[in-house]
Amino acid sequence: MSGTIRVHDDLLLAASEALASQVTQKDYDKGLIYPPFSNIRKISARIAANVAAKAYNFTLSFLKF
């Protein structure tokens, strides 16, 4: 999606941060450490967007947004 050739540590960190930011206090109260699977499409889109933005910021992407 972002046009990158290699996955750098910064991109993995961006994906992890995007995933973690989607866990709510309500999820934690239920004992969950990940957001509910019922929101997988929205969660995946946010992760992909965050990784693509990071790739673009680090000029790892060959695509122009």
pLDDT at 8: 83
State the average pLDDT over residues 34-57.
92
Cα–Cα distance for residue pair 55/52, rounded to 1 Å: 5
Tell me the average pLDDT of the chain. 86
What letter does residue 34 receive in the DSSP assignment? S
Closest CA to 43 of 61, 21, 10, 60: 21
SS3 state of residue 35: coil
CA 13 – CA 46 distance, rounded (Å):
14
Give the per-residue pLDDT at 57: 80
6-37 pLDDT, tens per residue? 778 999 999 999 999 999 999 999 999 999 99
pLDDT of residue 28: 96
Task: Please report, rounded to a whole number, the percentage of residues in the chain having pLDDT higher than 70.
Answer: 82
